[in-house]
Structure 1
Amino acid sequence: MCADTTSEALDYKDTLNLPKTDFPMRAGLPKREPDWLARWERIGVYDRLREKAGRKPFTLHDGPPYANGHLHIGHALNKTIKDMIVRSHQMMGFDARYVPGWDCHGLPIEWKIEEQYRQKGKDKDEVPVNDFRQECRKFAEHWVDIQREEFKRLGVTGNWDDPYLTMDFHAERVIAEEFMKFLMNGTLYQGSKPVMWSPVEKTALAEAEVEYHDHQSHTIWVKFPVVRAIESTGGRSDLLGVNVVIWTTTPWTIPSNRAVAFNPELSYGLYEVTEAPEDNWAKVGEQFLLSDKLAEDVFRAARVEGFKRLRDVTGAQLDLMICAHPFRGIEGGEGEWDYDVPLLPGDHVTDEAGTGFVHTAPSHGADDFVLGVKHGLQMTHNVMEDGSFRESLPLFGGAKIMNHKGKEGDANKRVIDALVASGALIARGRVKHSYPHSWRSKAPLIFRNTPQWFVAIDKTVGDGHDEMGTTIRTRALNSIDKLVKWWPQSGRNRLYSMIESRPDWVLSRQRAWGVPLTCFVKKGALPTDPDFLLRDEKVNARILEAFEAEGADAWYKAGAKERFLGGDYNPDEWEQVFDILDVWFDSGSTHAFVLRDRPDGTEDGIADVYMEGTDQHRGWFHSSMLQACGTLGRAPYRNVVTHGFTLDEKGNKMSKSLGNTIVPAEVIKQYGADILRLWVAQTDYTADQRIGPEILKGVADSYRRLRNTMRFMLGSLSDFTEAERVENPADMPPLERWVLSRLADLDAQVRKDYAEFDFQGVFTAVFNFATVDLSSFYFDIRKDVLYCDGDSPRRRAARTVLDILFHRLTTWLAPILVFTMEEVWLERYPGDDSSVHLVDFPETPADWRDEALEGEVAKVRRVRRVVTAALEVQRRDKVIGSSLEAAPVVHVEDAETRKLLAGIDMDDLCITSGLTVTGDPAPSEAFRLPEIPGVGVVFELAEGDKCQRCWKILPDVGRHSHPGVCGRCNDALG
């Protein structure tokens, strides 16, 4: 219906049941949302939900964000998904708890304080450690407060007054206590291994703290002369003096070389240079051992103009062949490199690039280290924590691999120059390749051998009879397959492969802000000695008591060693360890002090859900799994939900330099948080998702359509009372019963999708129902009944259905559009204690489901579609202005469909004043739709006069007691 401004119609306007609501068309979310936030805090919505008795707990454990900056769009995505999980499960009948938390220790915060020091000309090492730690604590407190308000502004519910912080004294105590469990169960050990090391930050990094960027490296091809061949392994004396050639992108590792690796499965040959420029590094007559597949590439790089292959060289011949280091006998070398360099078989060697031989420095590479341990190679300690060579290293002492800003130092050049001087180089170049960088300083990393503390993940834990496994690795792999559900399933494969192949866990960091490794080592003892580590429960208890009262700062106070050792041990015989724990151990331990220790935790210390980005398979999912498998014997979670990364509209990674970042605060300022939340619900968050100005405009348009749907319902229910309710669906017209059947379908889908964390599925189903089934069909049809009928049975049925729709749509959408659905709810149920977030999804009777009726309505809608399309042509051609001017004849070939239509008021469904259904063949001029065969529509004008109240054109208008109206309207007027 549309408004009519004729004088006759104005007499009846006040007699119509027009919608009445104060619900505005324009949402004004940016200004109004803060009021709802304040209201929820005032009435204590989160706490009141906890008071509901008899509910099964459901706990989503928050992966702690880092307290060091404003929120970015990834934070908004992450926290919104978590909020939807918590709210939807609460409304499905659970006691859904959410304790937000923050990661407060570690390098990112320490780095910020050091930057402040550098700007002030201060030296961190000259500041007392606990003074420095206090500045780190204050920095974290500052950002926790800021981020808390930013998260709350997104509409995220939770225990914001009592979050968990890894720097709380109790948390620091428990982190230390969890570390002590590894100390006491024998899995903790000190080892010397190459680890990812940041010379800029002067600490080891975990894999999760590493990102890969393109980096230009030096490339060198270096000769290792064969000096001895072992006859018993097939060696040949005539190979003496030939050169094994290696290729590397890290020239600075050459001084630490201890072996050369080859792969017995590859094809190798002995090659001789036959033609080359006089000044060439690779000389005519020189013989090289090379991979056959790579020989031509090597000679091209070495500017060799002619070469010949002399013969095959087998793996048996290469095995245990002995080379000299290229710096053997070098002037000024002081005998540093006058040792043998064996050839050793290694599966990691390929012929995809290089020479087929791999230079091996066990102190500076993972594969190198494994090979070195297997064959007893000597580890070197040539590189210091700042990335410089030790001062005592001949020729290169003090040379820097990179400077304090992460730029290349002089080490590579000095090594390359020495190789040229010694005649060991045959080629050099540059290559751009993917290289590890610190995700904080953005500086390149190196592999560096340092003493570190490790947890052995393949060592037997406990009594060896645990059903989940006897090692941390087997417990983790069994947990992945037997105890955890993965959303999406690909997350299982990702984490399983990582844990299946990962090395021991490096726990130590050489920094100051964090929980220390609370242990003591015996002076003069070797790490392999049984009494190297002090394992004493009384010492542990004293440490934990101090941490509970004073925090981890107690470890750094004067006299701490004497205090913790008590009178049980001589302090002069023990050294206190001052490395701090990897921050991933902190967050991996949160299950203990959040899920286990808090009253709003869980009975068994296991969370129902962990939910983070896909990068956390390497991060929090991973560290939590390892930590809990070492202390609990299983994973600390039952479900793992993973989201992808957020990209710009073109699919590019966001960066400030590109100017394509989307800041949550700016989106909220322009549109409101509900639009941001709706974007989350509309996207497939399990994959990488896109966001930008045009996408947000589309989201806002969807929001407006949905808002209009809710506004129509509110207006049509303005004076609805329980006395009007039709209790029995059997007493309703078919159209209302169809709506109830669709609701029964939708209720099952909504609950299933929410239970499976599929918010896109929920929103798509509800949105399509609201805009297609309701606004464009049911509402469109029933406007006439709602506006024009008196207290008729069909109007009462329609209003009853609208009330049922209201309670389901508002609650189903409340976890997504938290502000808007509260606004909708309060429009009908105002009051100080009222909130949609205090109610559950209404139970929807399964017997509302009527599959046969849904099938019938689907057939009717197909016919209606042809009719409305035919009338649209007449409206376009200005034959009619309104569909109520029409009374079409509809030709339907199918007898069953005609029978079905005979029992329905098709003129109401098609919003016409009349409509005739016939089985006669449709004439050639009939309107048809190719996709709906068997239906033709012949347009006819409605006969009669226009009712001045409902605007239908009917023959009986003007024949009743009220002038100018039809019989239906005359009855309504009384």
Structure 2
Amino acid sequence: MTEETKDYRDTVFLPKTDFPMKAGLAQKEPAILDRWARINLYQKLREARAGAERFILHDGPPYANGDLHMGHALNKILKDLVVRSQTLLGKDAPYVPGWDCHGLPIEWKVEEQYRKKKLNKDEVDPVAFRAECRAYAQKWVDVQRDQFQRLGVIGDWADPYLTMKFESEAIIAGELLKFAERGQLYRGAKPVMWSPVEKTALAEAEVEYEDITSTQIDVAFEIIEAPNAPELVGAHAVIWTTTPWTIPVNQALSYGNAIHYQHFKASDGKRYVVAFDLLDKFKARTGLTIEKFDDEPDSLDENESLSKFVSHGLEGSQLAGAKARHPMHARGEFYAKPRPFLDGSHFVTTDAGTGLVHMAPDHGEDDFLLCKANGIDPVFAVTDDGKYRDDWAWLGGQGSVINKKFVASDGPICTDLREAGALLAASDDFTHSYPHSWRSKAKIIFRCTPQWFIPMDAPLDQPLPERVREGHAVGEDIAEATGMHVNEDAPTPASAAVNHNGATLRGTALDAIENTRWVPERSKNRIRSMVEGRPDWVISRQRAWGVPIPLYVHRTSGDYLRDEAVNGRILSAFREGGADAWFAADHQALLGADYHLAEYEPVTDILDVWFDSGSTHAFVIEARYGEGVRADLYLEGSDQHRGWFQSSLLESSGTRGRAPYDAVLTHGFALDKNGRKMSKSIGNIVDPLKVIDQSGADILRLWVASTDYFEDVRIGDEVLKGTGDAYRKIRNTFRYMLGALDGFTDAEKVDVADMPELERYILLRLGELDVELRSAVDSLQFHRYGRALSDFANEDLSAFFFDIRKDCLYCDGEDSQRRRAYRTVLDILFHALVRYAAPILVFTAEEVWQTRFPDEDGSVHLLTWPELPALPGDNAISTKWADIRALRERVTETIEPLRREKTIRSSNEAEVWVPEMPLPPEDLSEIFISSAVHRGEGEIRVERTAYHKCGRCWRHLPEVVADGELCDRCAEVVKA
């Protein structure tokens, strides 16, 4: 600036705002949270939306155990996006957070404290132990409550639901008694997934699969009877297994009726029976070769076709009635009993092994059903800690059976089999997938124990037969009562025989699945297949911390008592003293005068924690909003298809004949930047609490709203950096609008009809954004919502509309129609965008709103969806301006090389020639932010202008006679 050049800065209308460019979210957000608590924002919302259409998202209970992790953050933020967007739409959308407080993880942690003190939990009074579990759970509820609120999640944090509240425990028990009163429970001995480390049965949802390396063995059972193939007597039937520890509990062998078996002589001088198709694999494992029988030709060559053995082949059906003896038959009565061959055609295959399968009904469902159908009962040889019971004839008191050393090729089982001459092969190199406890990470076993079940395939409107309820529910009793047909003609899985008409729990649940909205739609197939194939629901656990199964079993008949008056007294006791009342109860008082305690035994098992959480709809939704009310939405990770989604579905289907939800949203898991599961051992955990402390919760919230969470999502430093950049752009959009609207009043507003076409086009784009955001909310696709909002702010506004109109804002006269129209649109944009952003950027939107409209008791979150000005659906304007924007981009691309070469310093110094003129040249010049626009031929052409620069607006215009002088517009404004 020369000495003669005037300074016009004080005549330019620059934006003014106290809203800082630097967010400082980590410091500001806690203060905003405190303010919301002070004004009781959640209650204000309930009052503001009273009487409106209700939308209920039912919170799936996280476990009250440990700090929140990124999976928690993803889940809770997604739920908050749903709740806040529905609230913005004007609905009454309450959110009641809750916690799962019972079960193994908490009990396990308390036991760890006992073990450190070298105390035995079993020697402690159960009520005292449960009190410690309750205190432990409450501690983590309090911790997690603060952490979830720090994410900006709004809800009834003052009155959350807890499964350990007395009223909750009473309702959970009451839901179970609904099954009991209709005779829809039975106690049966069936193999269940069992954790020897935790000493309890596990639900499918508590099990995860990992690859392990096991010991595989081939064991020979000498055939002692074979009425349909006498030549087999003295030969050895060979079985193959990867669970050597089940051999001490073997009770039978099974074969495939249509499998072709080969009876052959081997190089060790013994005769064996193996499936023909598996001979090569058998030889490879054992190192045995095939020798000729005495009646075979001398020229027999081991490498020749096995067709020469056809005279010694047999069909599986010929094994019917055969018997073998256990390799340890000298060990006592159990082992001396001959092992029958049973037709297992529905599960015995030639995919692997030998085509013969050893049966241990204690440790496999197929084994159990087939043996029970043939009168063979479990023997319960393996104790709850995975050892053989002390009185067991072979390896009594030894184990644990899942200990790798115990079952290894040089372990006691293989050593004894080898000494008995029955171990043909053993190697410790078989890799396969195996179930593990989700909590302890220890391997589990299938173990037959007495458990309580809810049948999947029994008619819901009829009580189970008395013999099933009595606790003698095994084999054919369960099959007959539940439709699990077991017979010698290839058993049919239960689900295959179900007529899906709602008559059974399985059928009712499958009907409910069809009548539920699943998001994404493909998730319906997953839960449907799980329900179709699942076994009866095991609802009992052998632990201390949980809701007890409040039943009295008759000591003689074994049937459980079904009496509404007794059940009423039980539930009253629970409501008054919680589930502890069962463990410290005067049971005679609960039974009343009609029954004698001497004749009844109280059940000591507790309920599976999934039954607890599956009942939450009863004490959260119905208890708060009325009987028959169900949730509009359940929202959890994809693992809950076998967990909460399913247990809730089964519980409600059994007690109410329908699902407890109208819709279910499934999201993926939060993975590290490389797509791996986060793990302390790998060191790749992204801690949401650290992210919040460094960058603020709104950054995490924007990340969630920017990801396709229907798949697994990744997060790491680069992802968070990109999210931070996107946040700053949105923040700067708000900062610009706040500054540009400084001093704006209603008196300045201009009717839409009187606005320039550009302003009307932007309002049309705003309307299109509004439609897209509503659609995203309706479809629960908040990644569409977040991206659409961000793209509009960046591309339509900052990079286009604001860029073009900043000259008008700064340099037009305060009363100019164009400037007033621009500021009117900015006001409309502000009111819309701050509302649109509020469900995602909860803290920033509040800061923005309070900056412009400070109100100690107000909040942006009390507002409703914006009402946009009525605009005709003018496709012509939209099409025209889409073309103009495309032309503008081409012009900008043409100018950019000249800027890089410093031929020109800014687009204001450019004169542009374009082949088309959709607007007058002066309008196009403003759109392109150039000095002048001319019609040209062919390609777009740009040259440095010869026009002088206005000293106020800095535009190069023909009327400016010298650099620093004023253009006509600026001269008029300055004069005014």
TM-score (norm. length: structure 2): 0.91
> 1:12-39 deviations in whole A, cap 9, x for unaligned?
1111111111111110011110011111
Q: CA deviation at 1:971?
A: 2.1
Distance 1:848 1:49, change over 3 A: farther
> 1:900-922 deviations in whole A, cap 9, x for unaligned?
2348710000001211124xx33
> Residue 829 of structure 2: which of 786, 802, 805 is its match?
805
> 1:261-303 deviations in whole A, cap 9, x for unaligned?
2333544333332x4xxxxxxx13x232222332111111101
| CA distance, structure 1, for counterparts of residue 218 and residue 5 of structure 2 | 95
Q: Which residue of 2 aligns with 1:442?
A: 441
| CA distance, structure 2, for counterparts of residue 73 and residue 607 of structure 1 | 26
| CA distance, structure 1, for counterparts of residue 829 and residue 398 of structure 2 | 75
| CA distance, structure 2, for counterparts of residue 200 and residue 689 of structure 1 | 33
SS of equivalent residue, structure 1 residue 190: strand
Q: Which residue of 2 aligns with 1:928?
A: none
User: Contact 1:19/1:715 (CA < 8 Å) preserved in 2?
Assistant: yes
| CA distance, structure 1, for counterparts of residue 960 and residue 598 of structure 2 | 110
Q: Which residue of 2 aligns with 1:901?
A: 919
> Residue 542 of structure 1: which of 552, 569, 578 is its match?
569
| CA distance, structure 2, for counterparts of residue 444 and residue 89 of structure 1 | 44
SS of equivalent residue, structure 1 residue 436: strand
Q: Which residue of 1 aligns with 2:969?
A: 968
Q: Which residue of 2 aligns with 1:72?
A: 69
> 1:159-178 deviations in whole A, cap 9, x for unaligned?
00000000000001001101
Distance 1:313 1:841, change over 3 A: farther
Say if 2:37 is the partner of 1:31: no
* CA-based RMSD: 2.1
SS of equivalent residue, structure 2 residue 929: coil
User: Contact 1:8/1:948 (CA < 8 Å) preserved in 2?
Assistant: no
Distance 1:416 1:19, change over 3 A: same
Q: Which residue of 2 aligns with 1:143?
A: 140
SS of equivalent residue, structure 2 residue 871: helix
2:414 alignment partner AA: I
SS of equivalent residue, structure 1 residue 336: helix
> 1:503-537 deviations in whole A, cap 9, x for unaligned?
110011001111100001011324xxxxx111111
> Residue 275 of structure 2: which of 291, 308, 323 is its match?
291
User: Contact 1:740/1:849 (CA < 8 Å) preserved in 2?
Assistant: no
> Residue 955 of structure 1: which of 944, 958, 961 is its match?
958
Q: Which residue of 2 aligns with 1:743?
A: 766
Q: Which residue of 2 aligns with 1:183?
A: 180
Q: Which residue of 1 aligns with 2:9?
A: 13
Q: CA deviation at 1:463?
A: 6.7
Q: Which residue of 2 aligns with 1:248?
A: 241
Distance 1:887 1:500, change over 3 A: same
SS of equivalent residue, structure 2 residue 287: coil
| CA distance, structure 2, for counterparts of residue 881 and residue 603 of structure 1 | 71
Distance 1:843 1:241, change over 3 A: farther
Distance 1:272 1:151, change over 3 A: same
Q: Which residue of 2 aligns with 1:495?
A: 527
Q: Which residue of 2 aligns with 1:268?
A: 261
Q: CA deviation at 1:402?
A: 4.4
User: Contact 2:828/2:868 (CA < 8 Å) preserved in 1?
Assistant: no
Q: Which residue of 2 aligns with 1:278?
A: none
> 1:789-841 deviations in whole A, cap 9, x for unaligned?
11211111111111111112111111111111111111111111221111011
User: Contact 1:226/1:321 (CA < 8 Å) preserved in 2?
Assistant: no
Say if 2:502 is the partner of 1:475: no
| CA distance, structure 2, for counterparts of residue 7 and residue 574 of structure 1 | 107
> Residue 257 of structure 1: which of 250, 262, 287 is its match?
250
| CA distance, structure 2, for counterparts of residue 354 and residue 763 of structure 1 | 54
Q: Which residue of 2 aligns with 1:925?
A: none
| CA distance, structure 2, for counterparts of residue 696 and residue 125 of structure 1 | 48
The residue correspondences of 1:444-593 to structure 2 (distance < 5 A) are 444-462=443-461, 469-482=502-515, 484-526=516-558, 532-557=559-584, 559-593=585-619
TM-score (norm. length: structure 1): 0.92
Q: Mean alpha-carbon deviation: is it higher for 244-253 or for 373-382? A: 373-382
Q: CA deviation at 1:304?
A: 1.6
Q: CA deviation at 1:328?
A: 5.5
Say if 2:299 is the partner of 1:300: no
Q: Which residue of 2 aligns with 1:363?
A: 362
SS of equivalent residue, structure 1 residue 448: strand
| CA distance, structure 1, for counterparts of residue 887 and residue 143 of structure 2 | 58
SS of equivalent residue, structure 1 residue 887: strand
The residue correspondences of 1:211-230 to structure 2 (distance < 5 A) are 211-230=208-227
Say if 2:749 is the partner of 1:722: no
Task: Report how many aligned residue pairs link the two structures.
Answer: 920
1:423 alignment partner AA: G
User: Contact 2:260/2:316 (CA < 8 Å) preserved in 1?
Assistant: no
Distance 1:314 1:49, change over 3 A: farther
| CA distance, structure 2, for counterparts of residue 963 and residue 879 of structure 1 | 21
Say if 2:368 is the partner of 1:341: no
Q: Which residue of 1 aligns with 2:425?
A: 427
Q: Which residue of 2 aligns with 1:752?
A: 775
| CA distance, structure 1, for counterparts of residue 828 and residue 218 of structure 2 | 78
2:111 alignment partner AA: E
User: Contact 2:949/2:964 (CA < 8 Å) preserved in 1?
Assistant: no
Q: CA deviation at 1:779?
A: 0.9
Say if 2:896 is the partner of 1:878: no
Q: CA deviation at 1:760?
A: 0.6
Distance 1:801 1:848, change over 3 A: farther
| CA distance, structure 2, for counterparts of residue 54 and residue 394 of structure 1 | 72
| CA distance, structure 2, for counterparts of residue 199 and residue 147 of structure 1 | 31
Q: Which residue of 2 aligns with 1:326?
A: 326
| CA distance, structure 1, for counterparts of residue 163 and residue 205 of structure 2 | 18
SS of equivalent residue, structure 2 residue 71: helix
Distance 1:723 1:397, change over 3 A: same
| CA distance, structure 1, for counterparts of residue 106 and residue 433 of structure 2 | 27
Q: Which residue of 1 aligns with 2:491?
A: none
Q: Which residue of 1 aligns with 2:45?
A: 49
Q: CA deviation at 1:676?
A: 0.9
Q: Mean alpha-carbon deviation: is it higher for 114-123 or for 156-165? A: 114-123
> 1:861-916 deviations in whole A, cap 9, x for unaligned?
22212211222121111111121112222234xxxxx3x23487100000012111
Distance 1:375 1:846, change over 3 A: farther
User: Contact 1:902/1:917 (CA < 8 Å) preserved in 2?
Assistant: no
| CA distance, structure 2, for counterparts of residue 166 and residue 341 of structure 1 | 49
Q: Which residue of 2 aligns with 1:132?
A: 129
Q: Which residue of 2 aligns with 1:416?
A: 414
Q: Which residue of 1 aligns with 2:804?
A: 781
1:455 alignment partner AA: I
> 1:325-369 deviations in whole A, cap 9, x for unaligned?
323632x33453423322323322222221122212111012222
| CA distance, structure 2, for counterparts of residue 408 and residue 71 of structure 1 | 37
SS of equivalent residue, structure 2 residue 705: helix
Gaps of at least 5 residues in structure 1 are 276-282, 527-531, 893-897, 923-935
Distance 1:269 1:846, change over 3 A: farther
SS of equivalent residue, structure 1 residue 288: strand
Q: Which residue of 1 aligns with 2:654?
A: 630
Distance 1:251 1:846, change over 3 A: farther
Q: CA deviation at 1:64?
A: 0.3
1:579 alignment partner AA: D
Distance 1:554 1:883, change over 3 A: same
2:967 alignment partner AA: C
User: Contact 1:57/1:94 (CA < 8 Å) preserved in 2?
Assistant: yes
User: Contact 1:745/1:849 (CA < 8 Å) preserved in 2?
Assistant: no
Q: Mean alpha-carbon deviation: is it higher for 746-755 or for 333-342? A: 333-342
Distance 1:14 1:71, change over 3 A: same
The alignment-based identity, stated in percent, is 50
The residue correspondences of 1:68-147 to structure 2 (distance < 5 A) are 68-147=65-144
User: Contact 2:220/2:327 (CA < 8 Å) preserved in 1?
Assistant: no
Distance 1:392 1:144, change over 3 A: same
Gaps of at least 5 residues in structure 2 are 292-301, 464-498
